[in-house]
Structure 1
Amino acid sequence: MEETNAPKSSVRAKIQAMGGFLTNMVIPNIGAFIAWGILTALFIETGWMPNEDLAAMVDPTITYLLPLLLAYTGGRLVGGQRGAVMGSIGAMGLIIGADIPMFLGAMIVGPLGGLIIKQFDRLIEDKVRAGFEMLVNNFSLGIIGFFLMILSYTIIGPVIESANNGLTVAIEALVETGYLPLLSLLNEPAKVLFLNNVIDQGIYYPLGFQQSADLGQSIYFTVASNPGPGLGLLLAFTFFGTKTARRTAPGAIIIHFFGGIHELYFPYVLMRPLTLLGMIAGAMSGIATFQFFDAGLVAGPSPGSIFAYLGLTPPGNFVGIISGVVIATIVSFVVTSLILKFTKGPEDQEKDNLTESMKKSKAMKAEGKQAFAPSEEKDVKTVNKISFACDAGAGSSALGATTFRKKLKKENINDIEVKHFRIEDVPTDSDIIVVHKNLLDRARLTFEDKEIITIENYIGDPKLDDLIEKLKEK
């Protein structure tokens, strides 16, 4: 259904956008981080196959390669290729002047470099004489990059290092006092509001890589990525949820637990907010278990699949990691099941009532028609491109687009392009944009006048079925 009167911006939408930007710096480089994790797991002194010569690559990779990749990608997101080079130059000043891996610094200076060169290019646009473009481009990049490198080395780097050390000390204090599970009180509500990328890629990953470089593993990689709590919640909905939930939750389990797309369980929590208590309890118990076994991963599990967890588990940690996932699942399942069983009210009974379901289905179909025609002049025949969008453009939206495309093909509708994108990257010629309802504000920040269908689930949502039916009619 199209939302025409939604607010154009909100604090949450802006934070989500920031998280999406962080994700788009990290996700393209996850392969490099995993390569470093494998290198560490295999060849350091406590690894599977200790090898002093090959282990010599571990420190240079985490010190130089990974921060430079982040800075390059961040700069490119803001300022294109020139921004990528500018961000890398600035990051080099950070790296040389710091005693820790400069992940946080690279994620700041990279985009900053891109922004600086982008603004400079705008300033001199149409002011460079013909024939001098290459000269100006090269020297401007070199001179401004030089000053950014010096600034990064002398001022930005020390400030970021101090802030990083302060954050590390605070979280390590939680570890030493045994209170690390309390982070779940912040993590779980933030995740279901689609802020998971802000906390994971923005906070825990940089701290985790820093600790992993010293110890060969880090518990920080497990603090917000444990697939156990989500599995427990979906199992509870499978057995004790409404008919709709019982029908859709098993499929969500496979995609969440084995595919690592955690966004699949977010709608279930939002549907019954009290189940957030089950998520918090499960996450806390999982972290406590990881602490008890002194377990951790060698790199960030992205996506948060059980296969990624096991693949990044160092020697001697399998019992602790598996126990943390299993216990988190059990606790989340028990707490969520109790909530579902003892808080069942009229709203749930209505959802299970066939007559009411039919009425709601008709109402949703009427709402779906509005997605095509905010005015009487809009015709479904003009729909040539449908874009599914999510935070990073690589998880839930990809799943939604693939599923929807298969449904169209099954109905012999082959002339509509269906693709998935990061919200900010959705093509301007899209006829319809599909997003989760909690991402509407963020979508409106970029596409004020576009037709947007808001859904609660990227697969099996009634509004998507109505969309298929409307396309079939035309």
Structure 2
Amino acid sequence: MAQENNKSSLKVKIQKFGTALSGMIMPNIGAVIAWGLLTAIFMSPNGWIPNKQINNLVSPMLTYLLPLLIGYTGGKMVHDDRGAVIGAVGTIGVIVGSKQPMFLGAMIMGPLSGWLLKKLDDKFQSKIKTGFEMIYNNFSLGILGMILAIFAYFVINPVMVTGSNWASAGVDAIIKVHLLPLANIIIEPAKVLFLNNAIGNGILVPLGIQQAAQVGKSVLFLMESNPGPGLGILLAFVFFGKGSSKSSAPGAIIVQFLGGVHEIYFPYVLMKPALIIAAMAGGVTGTALFSMLGGGLKAAASPGSIIAVLLVSAKDAYFGNIIGILGSAIVSFLVAAVILKRDKSTDDDLEEKTKQMQAMKAESKGQAMPSEQLASDSVNSYADVKKVIFACDAGMGSSAMGASLLRDKFKKAKIDIPVTNIAVRNLKDEDGLLVVTQEELADRAAEKAPSAMRVAVGNFLNSPKYDSIVANLKALSQVQEKPKETEKPKSKGVVDDIDFSKIKNVYFIRHDQHVGTATMATNLFANAVKKADKHVGVSAVKINELPDEATNLVIVTPQAKKNLVVRYSDVQVVVVDDLLQDKKLQDVIAKLQ
């Protein structure tokens, strides 16, 4: 047990360090792209439209703006606005006097400056007399900022110049001996373990910017953001997958290849761990082709979409980039196809595997997530929820899509609670907060928001826990609502309680265990309605797919009604003992209009 706890603690520390690195880059990716586009379009003489005047913006942005933004962001992560300001002040000491862009230096001085000011404030701020707060705030920051800028200029700057020279020389040496593709053997598995942002934005992007500043482009930008390996794996599921993994793969391709959300293919690999070989083979192939054919980007492609890649490709690198992406997709597809075809297992349902993975992870970590409890036991735990936040490593991509999915479910269920998404590092502990995060980041979320209610999921894009959240909040709203005196009492499942003048559709609930019964009942009822010349729609749906409207009549068994009432408040309900031959079915048909 102690060994497992140590592993968990080490894993959290690695994630925190990687997220801290990427956290300084991610908010500033837009500025990096702006610099890259200026370089690609207007740089003289290699741009698409060379312009000497506009080209004057390129060097100052690279030398001053981008490192200062990174230092500012790093300080803000540690000590809010005061940390942001002193982070920028400390960073300027690394920048001045160097001919190289000091991204790594900014990633050191920003957080370091913010941390030192935080320690100073913790020691003295509470002791400042009333009326002297502004003097302390301004002069403490100013004096410490001056000291840090001088320290950075004389100490950190020379160290970082030497380190940058070594790093550049090392990368160049690896490229010359054609060993760079081997890095994907580490990068691809790390991506699947949700370390993609830490590796891409924390390590490869800073090194790529320095290389692009020297030679006009960098293949490092493509090593993590290449959408080819994920595309190949998902295509293999389209042709050789089974169950829901096969049916969901086409939609996942659009999200991954065009939208750039690589996290969507991670559960497919986790479902068949051998597929990591396909991802590595595709990544190695892509990087090899990029290097051989002169591929490279002017700036980071974020998100890792084919559209973003083409927008920031160097003028002379389009052929190499496109061939590299296609080559990596083809190789990963072929390897994944062999793995899937050789797989003889019949149990290949993506949703089931996702649930199983979540249960195993939760059990191994000793976590008990409230969304897995019965509705009757967990409804009260949702009583204080006023806001839902999806928290992921970067606060973009998959968490934004997960928030959109839950927001849509809330809208259909008429639940008026805001749903947003942020990076886990930016979580703040507050009342009435429900945090939805990935299993891998559950410990981080607990540290950032210990008072919040938390739900961990294996995959933001395909979790059954969303339905549990909706069901509990819906049940809570029904308990809290007081019926108006003029309002008609809610149907208890008796035919006489139904307002048939409103009914336009009749639904039967289709359960995974009783699909045949519901289908047969639907067909028999539909035929009877047709013979009776009644004009209503008849269909079978899953319990979470019902439109919550009074125009819909739902025919259920007593057991199914228990689950129905905690999800819906407006549908009308008739309870029958037998879906196929209960006498109430004929009564319903007779009263339909």
Question: Same fold, TM exceeding 0.5?
Answer: yes
Q: 1:30 to 1:448 in 2, by over 3 A?
A: same
The within-5 A match list for 1:202-281 is 202-281=202-281
Q: What one-letter code is carried by the residue in structure 1 that aligns with 2:59?
A: D
The separation in 1 between residues aligned to 2:349 and 2:146, in whole angstroms, is 66
The structural deviation recorded for 1:229 is: 0.6
The within-5 A match list for 1:13-412 is 13-44=12-43, 45-345=45-345, 349-351=346-348, 369-370=371-372, 378-411=380-413
Mean CA deviation greater in 145-154 or 120-129: 120-129
The separation in 1 between residues aligned to 2:470 and 2:378, in whole angstroms, is 20
Contact 2:371/2:455 (8 A) holds in 1: no
Q: What one-letter code is carried by the residue in structure 2 that aligns with 1:390?
A: C
For 1:436, the equivalent position in structure 2 comes to 438
The separation in 1 between residues aligned to 2:86 and 2:376, in whole angstroms, is 44
Q: What one-letter code is carried by the residue in structure 2 that aligns with 1:240?
A: F
More relative contact order, 1 or 2 (CA 8 Å, 6+ apart): 1
The structural deviation recorded for 1:288 is: 0.9
> Aligned residue pairs: how many?
461
The structural deviation recorded for 1:299 is: 0.2
Contact 1:74/1:114 (8 A) holds in 2: yes
The separation in 1 between residues aligned to 2:172 and 2:198, in whole angstroms, is 20
Q: What one-letter code is carried by the residue in structure 1 that aligns with 2:21?
A: L
The separation in 2 between residues aligned to 1:187 and 1:423, in whole angstroms, is 22
1:457 and 2:423 aligned? no
The separation in 2 between residues aligned to 1:298 and 1:163, in whole angstroms, is 23
Contact 1:22/1:197 (8 A) holds in 2: no
1:425 and 2:422 aligned? no
The structural deviation recorded for 1:239 is: 2.2
Contact 1:371/1:451 (8 A) holds in 2: no
Q: What one-letter code is carried by the residue in structure 2 that aligns with 1:93?
A: G
Contact 1:19/1:196 (8 A) holds in 2: no
Q: After superposition, what is the alpha-carbon deviation per residue over 1:288-309, rounded to whole angstroms, capped at 9, x for unaligned?
A: 1111111110000111111110
TM-score for the superposition, normalised by structure 2:
0.73
Q: What one-letter code is carried by the residue in structure 1 that aligns with 2:88?
A: S
Contact 1:17/1:391 (8 A) holds in 2: no
Q: What one-letter code is carried by the residue in structure 2 that aligns with 1:295?
A: G
Q: 1:131 to 1:382 in 2, by over 3 A?
A: closer
The SS at the match of 1:279 is: helix
The separation in 2 between residues aligned to 1:453 and 1:134, in whole angstroms, is 42
The SS at the match of 2:96 is: helix
The structural deviation recorded for 1:105 is: 0.7
The separation in 2 between residues aligned to 1:137 and 1:146, in whole angstroms, is 14
Q: After superposition, what is the alpha-carbon deviation per residue over 1:220-278, rounded to whole angstroms, capped at 9, x for unaligned?
A: 11111101111111111222223121122222211111111111111221221110100
The separation in 2 between residues aligned to 1:143 and 1:223, in whole angstroms, is 42
Mean CA deviation greater in 458-467 or 185-194: 458-467
Q: 1:83 to 1:470 in 2, by over 3 A?
A: closer
Q: What one-letter code is carried by the residue in structure 1 that aligns with 2:249?
A: A
Contact 1:15/1:195 (8 A) holds in 2: no
The separation in 2 between residues aligned to 1:374 and 1:86, in whole angstroms, is 51
Contact 1:392/1:422 (8 A) holds in 2: yes
Q: Which structure has the larger Rg?
A: 2
The structural deviation recorded for 1:396 is: 0.9
Higher helix share: 1
Mean CA deviation greater in 313-322 or 156-165: 156-165
Q: 1:381 to 1:20 in 2, by over 3 A?
A: same
Contact 2:168/2:211 (8 A) holds in 1: no
The separation in 2 between residues aligned to 1:299 and 1:178, in whole angstroms, is 22
Q: What one-letter code is carried by the residue in structure 1 that aligns with 2:15?
A: Q
The structural deviation recorded for 1:11 is: 2.0
The SS at the match of 2:125 is: coil
The SS at the match of 2:225 is: coil
The separation in 2 between residues aligned to 1:465 and 1:443, in whole angstroms, is 21
Contact 1:286/1:325 (8 A) holds in 2: yes
The separation in 2 between residues aligned to 1:389 and 1:240, in whole angstroms, is 33
The separation in 1 between residues aligned to 2:302 and 2:316, in whole angstroms, is 22
The SS at the match of 1:316 is: coil
Contact 2:371/2:465 (8 A) holds in 1: no
The within-5 A match list for 1:3-18 is 9-18=8-17
Identity in percent: 46
The separation in 1 between residues aligned to 2:92 and 2:387, in whole angstroms, is 42
The structural deviation recorded for 1:469 is: 3.9
Q: 1:353 to 1:449 in 2, by over 3 A?
A: closer
The separation in 1 between residues aligned to 2:411 and 2:7, in whole angstroms, is 35
TM-score for the superposition, normalised by structure 1:
0.90
The SS at the match of 1:149 is: helix
Contact 1:372/1:451 (8 A) holds in 2: no
Q: 1:8 to 1:281 in 2, by over 3 A?
A: closer
Q: 1:435 to 1:248 in 2, by over 3 A?
A: farther
Contact 1:190/1:196 (8 A) holds in 2: yes
The separation in 2 between residues aligned to 1:209 and 1:253, in whole angstroms, is 29
Q: 1:91 to 1:128 in 2, by over 3 A?
A: same
Contact 1:386/1:434 (8 A) holds in 2: yes
Mean CA deviation greater in 308-317 or 52-61: 52-61
The separation in 2 between residues aligned to 1:117 and 1:11, in whole angstroms, is 27
Contact 2:67/2:101 (8 A) holds in 1: yes
The separation in 2 between residues aligned to 1:264 and 1:159, in whole angstroms, is 40
The structural deviation recorded for 1:210 is: 0.9
The structural deviation recorded for 1:450 is: 4.8
The structural deviation recorded for 1:381 is: 4.5
Task: Show structure 1 runs of 5+ residues with no match.
Answer: none
